């Protein structure tokens, strides 16, 4: 029989090894699909679709109890994406999209509703973007 201390040591090592991977996968999304996240203030459901080859459309739904609100691309709207695109949820209110080339789009929940902005219209978004997405852009 293994001792309790030995088993605890193995479990702790395992959790330390996988925890950065789990956090990274929760926060940075590089594939199409549905992703959920339990956040500080809201539960979040992120939907990333490929309406046509090389395009991306994303929505984010914020839920708290029976209340819910959604923001993102409207029906039929999408952006072209390139190799290296990524989407990142920044808890508690922001969904960042990097197109793989140079564009950042931010969908955010504000005190008065929802807001969307893009770095082609608001260049300072590139400075505000999460570090992981900025590093993604630096690789290009």
pLDDT in tens, 4-31: 444 445 444 443 333 333 333 346 899 9
Q: CA nearest 93: which of 118, 67, 113?
A: 113
95 neighbors 87 (Cβ within 8 angstroms): yes
Q: Is 125 left (phi over 0), alpha (psi -120 to 50) or beta?
A: alpha
Domain ranges of the chain: 4-138
pLDDT in tens, 99-140: 999 999 999 988 898 999 999 999 999 999 998 888 877 776
- Residues 3 and 6: their CA atoms lie apart, in Å, by 5
Give this prediction's pTM.
Answer: 0.77
């Amino acid at each position: 029989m293994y001792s309790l201390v030995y088993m605890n040591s193995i479990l702790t090592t395992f959790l330390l090894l996988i925890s950065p991977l789990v956090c990274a996968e929760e926060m940075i999304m590089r594939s199409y699909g549905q992703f959920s996240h339990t956040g500080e203030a809201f539960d979040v459901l992120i939907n990333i679709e490929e309406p046509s080859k090389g395009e991306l459309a994303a929505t984010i739904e914020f839920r708290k109890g029976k209340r819910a609100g959604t923001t993102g691309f409207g029906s039929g709207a999408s952006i072209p994406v390139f190799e290296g695109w990524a989407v990142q949820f920044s808890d508690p209110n922001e969904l960042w999209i990097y197109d793989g080339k140079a564009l950042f789009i931010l969908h955010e929940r504000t005190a008065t509703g929802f807001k969307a902005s893009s770095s082609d219209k608001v260049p300072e978004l590139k400075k505000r973007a999460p570090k992981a997405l900025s590093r993604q852009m630096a690789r290009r």
